[in-house]
Amino acid sequence: MPDKKNINLVVNGKPYELLIGKDVLPSDTLAQTLRDTLGYLGTKIGCDRGACGSCTVLLNGQAVLSCTTLTVECDGMSVTTIEGLEDPKTGQLHPLQQAFIDHTAFQCGFCTPGIIMTTKALLDKNPNPTEDEIKKALAGNYCRCISHYKVLEAVKAAIQGEKHGE
């Protein structure tokens, strides 16, 4: 007896209306909906148990785990995925994305969208974090290729870039 008939969701600025029972099931996770229903394949499902952080997206600006969030509970909310970072008009990468490329802050890249989204949420709230604050914020994003030290470089460079107005 679901008490809602549909879900209104804004993904990367684009509004969607999803019918419960047709487009989404009450048991669908946001990660499933983003990838399987809406085609945002940038969001990765790693452990699917909330431990690895690969599925991190911004929900109303907060970095959350889309694998342990039910889509039905996101009605009226705004989601940002990795696809939402580039400039919609020019297609230019977000400076954070560019910094990750410039510093080769990944090897296989599977964890990268999650790491970038967590970083984005951090910088939105605190544009000038200390190294310790960056480490703490990223403590829920695991990289099995051990690229964390490169990630730190990339994030710090991105912060510097912002400061210099790049």
Partner 1 sequence: MKPFNHVDAKTVKQAVTLLKKNQGKARLIAGGTDLLSTLKDKILPDYPETVINIKTIPKLNQITDDGSGLKMGALAKLEEIAQSPVVKEKYKLLTEAAEAVATPQIRRMGTIGGNLCQDVRCWYYRYPHSVGGRILCYLKGGKGCYALTRENEYHSIFGGWRDTSPPCASACPAGVDIPSYVSNIREGDLTQAAKTLLKRNPLPSITGRVCPHFCEQQCNRAEFDESVSVRDIERFMGDYILDKADDIMQAPQTDTGKSVAIIGSGPAGLSAAYYLRTLGHRVTVFDKREEPGGMLTYVIPAYRLPKDMVKRAVEAIEHMGVTFKCNVDIGKDITLDNLKKDFDSVFIATGAWMPVSIGLKGEESTRFCLDFLININRGITETPGKKVLVIGGGNAAVDVAVSALRLGAEQATMACLECQEEMPALPWEMELAVEQGVTVMPSWGPHRVLTAEGKVKGMELIRCTAVFDEQGCFAPCFDDTVKETVEADQILLAVGYDTDLTFIDPKSSLKRKQGLIPVDPNTQATNLPGIFAGGSVTHGPATVIEAIASGRKAAAAMDGYLTGKAQAQDTDEKTEEPFLTFNSDYLTKTSRVQMPKRPVAERSIAVEDTLGLDLNDIAAEANRCFNCGCVSVGPSDMGVVLVALGAQVEIAGPGGVRTVPIEDFFGSLRTTLTANEMVTEIQVPQPPEGARQTFLKFRLRESVDFPIVSVASVITIKDGICQDARIVLGAVAPCPVQATGAEKVLIGRAIDDGQATAAAQAALEDAIPLEKNSYKVTIARELVRRAILAAESSGEMR
- Two structure tokens written together for 30: 């946001």
Query: What whole-number distance in Å separates Cα of residue 120 and Cα of residue 79?
Result: 13
Residue 4 within binding range of partner 1, rule CB under 8 A: yes
What would the x/- binding string for partner 1 be over residues 119 to 148, using CB under 8 A?
-----------------xxxxxxx------
Query: Would you say 140 and 82 are in contact if contact means Cβ atoms under 8 Å apart?
Result: no
What would the x/- binding string for partner 1 be over residues 5 to 44, using CB under 8 A?
--------------------xxx-x---------------
Residue 20 has what DSSP assignment? B
Residue type for position 78: S
- How wide is the angle at C-alpha 116 spanned by C-alphas 44 and 156, nearest 5°? 155
Residue 70 within binding range of partner 1, rule CB under 8 A: yes
Where do contacts with partner 1 occur on this chain (CB under 8 A)?
1-4, 25-27, 29, 48-51, 53, 56, 62-65, 67-70, 72-73, 118, 136-142
